[in-house]
Amino acid sequence: MKLTIILTFYTAFILNVACAQNTKEYKTWNPASDTVKVLEGQGWPNEIKNYYDRLPARAEQTVRKEVWGLSENTAGIFVKFRTNADEIVVKYAVDGNLQMPHMPATGVSGIDMYTKNSNGKWLWCAGKYSFGDTITYRFTNLVTKDEYGNAFEYNLYLPLYNTVKWMTISVPKDSVFTPLAVRKEKPIVVYGTSIAQGGCATRPGLAWTSILGRKLDRPVINLGFSGNGRLEKEVISLITELNASIYLLDCLPNLTGIAATEVKKRVAESVRQLQSKRPGIPILLTEHDSYTDEEMYPAKKKEYQEVNKALREVFDSLSANGVGNIYYLAKNEINQDIETMVDGTHPNDIGMMRYADAYEKTIRTIMKEPVGNSSTTKPVRQRREPKMYEWEKRHSDVLAYNKAKSPKLVFIGNSITHYWAGEPAGQPARGQESWKKYFEPKNAVNLGYGWDRIENVLWRIYHGELDSISPKQIVVMIGTNNLGFNSDGEIIDGLQFLLKAIQAKQPAAGILLMGILPRRNMEERVEKLNRELAAKHFTKGVTYTDAGYLFLKKDKKIDETLFSDGLHPNEKGYQKLGEFINRNLSKM
């Protein structure tokens, strides 16, 4: 009797808990029903047959059947959104086998969710999943806001080797949920084999193309076709329609067993086809990354060595004949070994990381976008004060303004610059009179962003803010926001690193590097840092100066009458700063 009562009570308790849980209300979003283009990694969003396809509908009539079928897999595609939800539920259905003998369901048919905080740091989210006719991923007990009180930005990567038929994303009804439109930046376009498609990553976010996209913080279009990346002119013709930042041709694993003359022909024709339609865009040719069981199977070793030899010979021939803007990635740089493959051919997660590392290093060299060891030398986005402005929108506004106005004087900085005055406009504008007097006649642009650190400016330089313009002079006033996070040495290293990046983009412009302005309760440290900065030997074209003494009283504390808050100058302070900068520009 006691046991029956206990079981009855326990059953009732479970039912009550379940009912309580089921009373939670959700709101649901279907990406396919949104009017905004939200699928990152899709090259032809306006021409698709099915919502999640990778090739345009017309390609069904031009590419081989196998290529078309694989293009319906969602490899490399992800959805971006912003939410403060503590729970995210994703439901979807796929049209294919859930897993393969050498690749788990989490990679073949699963999804994968990463998030980025306001400082631009990537974080990964673990979800509980169930696979069936409807696949469900449930992410629970999520942190709802970062250290600045902001909602998180999410990347939801879709399956690598399956076709998504439909998908919904649900969050608690009282949560903020904002789908994010596809970035307009030129993508990295990858044409390759099963390795590029993602085999055999255990999760979609661990495909090397996905890792590379996060490392470089750039859009990547994945045109990897398992067993069918063969440098076919029909596919290359489609690729020429994509205005890329760089093309990666990684097809040699599907060209083994083909005569060397044919391999050379396909490579040469692919390069010519791309360059005839897209001159000036770099093309990176990649060797076969080898078979890691090659010592036990010499015939396989010979296969990849022959195609790699053919690729090297055609690359050397093209280069010798004046074909420029082509680059080479050798297998040794990818550096696979017996611990980095699933089956001797397809990378495991370690192998995928090695691919991504090799591509990142090579692409950064090609695009002249190096990174250093400290945080001040690693480019990164931020979103620290969205209540004041949206960082990425301001970046887009700057690019548009530069294109329309062709500024001759560029101010680069943080909120001290952002909220001075000028265009693109920021609010509040604390020094309009001085800006109008000294800089408006010089056709100046304001590239100040509230809360920016040195590394955030580096990201902006690498992502186009000094491209397609020809300024005569550039004023750099950055570093105060690094004081709470970096040593003086790291700040100085970061500034020197940033100056090199600016000069790589604008070698003819004169650069005026400003010392960090004094700020309340940090006067002594700032003065010491500026003295160390002044002692550095800068390259030709860079002039260093320090306006700090204008803002200090005799006791070396800030003159509060020149500041609005102990950090940002008021109109009177900006007047002094404007006159000082203008005088130094006139000397350059």
Write a three-state SS string for 455-468.
HHHHHHHHCCCCCC
Three-state DSSP at 85 gives coil
Residue ranges and CATH numbers for the domains of the chain are 23-182 (2.60.120.260), 185-367 (3.40.50.1110), 375-587 (3.40.50.1110)
Residue 90, beta-bridge partner list: 137, 169
Query: In this structure, are residues 24 and 174 in contact, taking their beta carbons and an 8 Å threshold?
Result: no
- Which residue in 441, 447, 437, 442 sits closest to 402, CA to CA? 447
What pLDDT, on the 0 to 100 scale, is given for residue 588? 74
Q: What is the DSSP letter of 344?
A: S
**Rounded to 5 degrees, what angle do the CA atoms 496, 187, 276 make?**
105
Number of H helices, E strands in the chain: 17, 21
pTM equals 0.94
HEC string of 204-239 equals HHHCHHHHHHHHHCCCEEEEECCCCCCCCHHHHHHH
Q: How far apart are CA 575 and CA 439, in angstroms?
A: 12
236, 268 Cβ separation under 8 angstroms: no
Alpha helix segments (H runs only) across 509-570: 523-534
Q: Are 216 and 363 in contact (CB under 8 A)?
A: yes
What b/e sequence results for 502-528 when a residue is b if at least 16 CB atoms lie within 10 Å of its CB, and e otherwise?
bbebbeebbbbbbbbbbbeebbeebbe
**Residue 179 pairs with which residues in a beta bridge?**
81
Q: What DSSP character marks residue 196?
A: H
User: How many other C-beta atoms are found inside a 10 Å radius of the C-beta of residue 500?
Assistant: 14
SS (H, E, C) 142-186: CCCCCCCCCCEEEEEECCCCCCEEEEEEEEECCCCEEECCCCCCC
Strands annotated E in 449-502:
473-477
Chain centre to alpha carbon of residue 419? 27
pLDDT value at position 24? 85
Query: What is the structure's pLDDT at 14?
Result: 42
Residue carrying the six token digits 């030997």: 537
Query: Starting from the edge strand earliest in sequence, which strands make up the sheet with 88-94, in order?
Result: 26-29, 164-172, 88-94, 135-139, 128-130
**CA-CA distance, 296 to 81, in Å (whole number)?**
48
Determine whether 380 is exposed, middle or buried from the number of CB atoms within 10 Å of its CB (0-12, 13-18, 19+). Answer: middle
Extract the tokens encoding 584.
């130094």
Residues 6+ apart with CB under 8 A from 441: none
Say what the pLDDT of residue 23 is.
76
Q: At what angle do helices 523-534 and 488-505 cross, to 10 degrees?
A: 50
pLDDT in tens, the chain (588 residues): 443 434 344 444 443 444 445 578 999 999 999 999 999 999 999 999 999 999 999 999 999 999 999 999 999 999 999 999 999 999 999 999 999 999 999 999 999 999 999 999 999 999 999 999 999 999 999 999 999 999 999 999 999 999 999 999 999 999 999 999 999 999 999 999 999 999 999 999 999 999 999 999 999 999 999 999 999 999 999 999 999 999 999 999 999 999 999 999 999 999 999 999 999 999 999 999 999 999 999 999 999 999 999 999 999 999 999 999 999 999 999 999 999 999 999 999 999 999 999 999 999 999 999 999 999 999 999 999 999 999 999 999 999 999 999 999 999 999 999 999 999 998 899 999 999 999 999 999 999 999 999 999 999 999 999 999 999 999 999 999 999 999 999 999 999 999 999 999 999 999 999 999 999 999 999 999 999 999 998 999 999 999 999 999 999 999 999 999 999 999 999 999 999 999 999 887
* Strand partners for 167: 92
* Cβ-proximal residues to 238 (8 Å cutoff; 6+ apart), any chain: 43, 55, 56, 59, 62, 63
Q: 3-state DSSP call for residue 112?
A: strand
Closest CA to 196 of 170, 222, 168: 222
Q: Which residues contact 18 (CB under 8 A, 6 or more apart)?
A: none
Amino acid letter for position 8: T
Contacts of 57 (CB under 8 A, 6+ apart): 47, 48, 49
Q: Whole-angstrom Cα distance, residue 202 to residue 107?
A: 5
pLDDT of residue 8: 41
Q: Which residues pair with 83 in a beta bridge?
A: 152, 177
> What integer pLDDT is reported at residue 566 of this predicted model?
95
381: number of Cβ within 10 Å: 18
